[in-house]
Structure formats: structure tokens, C-alpha cells
Homo-oligomer: A and B are copies of this chain.
Amino acid sequence: MKEIAHLLFETRMLKDIDRSGYAFLGSGRESIAEHSFTTAFICFTMAKIEPEVDSEKLMAMALVHDIPEARTGDHNYVHKKYNQVDEAKAVSHLAAGVAFGRDIQDLINEFNLGETQEARLANDADQISFILELKKLKDTGAVSPEKWLPLVMGRLKTKTGKQMAQSIMETQWDEWWTREYSE
């Protein structure tokens, strides 16, 4: 149990690390924990749209996909050019000691390989989580998202992911509550 307590405190750290892309975008902010929650919830909805996928695996993959960043830090596009991140080592260290460490490693490996449908969907969810943020920033007055949205859209691989993102692009961020607004 001691090792699990360590793992939980390690994962807790994702609340205290902001995603480094927003400083370079010039607007917005988000912790890794917030990003991970949104990604996992998007995976929950994807599993409903594609009921043949392994929903448990899909959500678990989203929950753990950024956990190694407590050890490695979060690297944006520029940072990646100058850092060789040994994510495998980070995963191996965080997994060591907990009985189910191997499961975490397998999930992250599968996510990174992106070969299974679950991995492809989880990777799309990772991008859609960012698209949601960019769309909100755009709708509220930020300038930079206009430039990035098409590029991030272009990273999507699955039909479900593309449709979901397309729908987000056609929706105002506050429509979910303003459409029923009356004074």
C-alpha cells in the first residue's frame, strides 16, 4: 500500500504542473490533471459511439497517458526538439513496486504505438481535449487559436475523432447553456 500512496502523490503532482503549450500560445492555461480528466471523459463518450471498442482499456489509457509527466515534465512542440525524454524509464520507475505496474506500462506503450483502435481513439481524445480549449479561447477573443486549430485538426486519425472535432468547430463554446437562456 505504501507504494500506492507514493503513486497517488506522484499522480497528484499533475495538478501542480501547467501544460507548457499555453505559454507559447499566449492565452489560456490548464494543468496536466485537467487535461487528463477531459481526455478521459472524451474517451468515455467515444466508447459509447464505438461500442465495439474496449471501453475499460480506453478510459484507463487516457487516465495514465500523461502520468509519466510528473517525472519528465510536460514538453511542448519547441521543448521536444531539445529534449530526449526517456519516458520508458519514467514509466518503469513509477510502475516499480506496485503490483499492477506492468498494466500501466502496457497501457502507455499501447497508447504510444497507436496501433489498436483504442490507442487511436485515445490519441484523438488527447488532441480533441486541446481543440476544446482552443475553440473556447477563440470564441472569447484570443487570436492565436485561429492559426493552430486547423493544424491540430489535421492530427486526428479516427472517423469518430474527426466527426467529434468537426462538431466542436461548428459549436459555440457556451451554446450548451445560452441556447436555453431567457431573461
Contacts and interface: CB of A to CB of B under 8 A. Distances in A.
A9 B10 CA distance: 28
A15 B31 CA distance: 9
A63 to B, nearest CB: 5
A167 B15 contact: no
B171 A2 contact: yes
Interface size class of A (residues with CB under 8 A): 35 or more
A163 interface: yes
Contacts of A27: 140-141
Contact of A33 (B1, B33, B139, B147): B33
A31 to B, nearest CB: 6
Contacts of A10: 176-177
Interface string A89-124: 110000000111001000000000000000000000
Contacts of A67: 41
A174 B81 contact: no
B78 A75 contact: no
Interface string A20-55: 100110110011011011101110110011000001
Interface of A: 1-2, 4-18, 20, 23-24, 26-27, 30-31, 33-34, 36-38, 40-42, 44-45, 48-49, 55-56, 59-60, 63-64, 67-68, 70-73, 75-79, 81-87, 89-90, 98-100, 103, 128, 132-133, 136, 139-144, 147, 151, 154-155, 163-164, 166-168, 170-171, 173-178, 181, 183
